[in-house]
Structure 1
């Protein structure tokens, strides 16, 4: 896969840009990031509270907890508040929390991807290289904007899927969602590959914050069309009622359409949406 996300000979004829969130969209994080959240909260509450998937979803539905380290911290704070303690009373070290989380997620060696044997090594991939190659062939340029760290996101995109230097804006590169800065930056990087400016942008994500990010981008850069596409993450699809409720939350937050798998977002559907 070329580092250019669309063939250079047809770059000037691209008709749309697709930007993808990663967690819950490109990879299943129910047994990795979310498991690490639960482990972290359980550890720092001395095993008094382990959040369920529904607890984590409820927090994320507020639209401001895309960062899983901060989400873990917030769940810990809220638990102790139910026990009559204030946040100022707690001696909770954020750095220690992050370190514990990362050792569960990445493994004992935090810096060497070749040695990562934590939860990240077990993540199911939800889109293969051929999917992105087909988008390029069908004149859709693409890239990634994720709240994951650069290391984690690159591990999945390059090592697990086999993409070569894809456009990626990660946690270290932009403010957290729903701030649209990262999405706007991703689009700019894609356009720098020779794509015509001003093309419609589709952003696919699995959280309320993802949908709100698109609305914020539209408000800031209304000279082009922005569309939010909701993706139901795998963990919500085990129960029809829960999936329906999750779908409704994404739609209420601005999703133009909600799909069950990212590979349903074909170039044909993208062209229909725009």
Structure 2
């Protein structure tokens, strides 16, 4: 038997990282969106890729001023905010573990543990390492895995 975990919102509190990167990226491109807009889009489904979600929300909420960012431009801005720069820490530094380490370790004694996430593999591995839970999970299915 195996327990499969989602990362964002299940293992990791992303309210100050991914969600904030969506809001700040949208604002950068002139779109005023809210946490409620993000929540509604996520609830509708098909919004697991936060770069694409941000792009879609920008285009749905942007005031027409003649400019329209590409998905590549949106992704670049999002990543600068999330990953950080040499002069600015990334929003990923704000992520915290939701379940207790003790609970995860107890479950891992009874079950094989895996992660299925829409995150890029590098972001998944970073979170597992920084939160000290990499040893608990035997497999991670990430964005690149389709």
Which TM-score applies when normalising by structure 1? 0.49
**1:145 maps to what in 2?**
116
Q: How many residues align?
A: 145
Q: What's the offset of the Cα at 1:20?
A: 0.4
2:5 paired residue among 20, 26, 47: 20
Rounded to whole Å, the distance in 2 between the matches of 1:156 and 1:166 is 15
Following superposition of structure 1 onto structure 2, how do residues 61-140 of structure 1 map, counting pairs within 5 Å? 61-80=43-62, 83=63, 90-108=67-85, 117-137=89-109, 139-140=110-111
Decide whether aligned partners of structure 1 residues 84 and 95 sit closer, same or farther in structure 2, where only a CA change above 3 A counts: closer
Shift of 1:90: 5.0
In structure 1, the residue matched to 2:129 is: 158
Unaligned 5+ segments in structure 2 are none
Deviation at 1:130, TM superposition (A): 2.8
Query: Which structure 1 residue ranges, 5 or more long, are not aligned?
Result: 1-15, 110-114, 175-274
**C-alpha separation between the residues in 1 aligned to 2:47 and 2:67?**
20
Task: Give distance in 2, aligned partners of 1:116 and 1:168.
Answer: 29
CA contact (8 A) 2:59 2:68 kept: no
1:208-219 residue pairs with structure 2 within 5 A? none
Larger C-alpha radius of gyration, 1 or 2? Answer: 1
Confirm or deny: 8 A CA contact 1:33 1:119 kept in the other structure: yes
Aligned mates of 1:69, 1:168 — CA distance in 2: 20
What secondary structure does 2:8 align onto?
coil
Q: 1:160 to 1:74 in 2, by over 3 A?
A: same
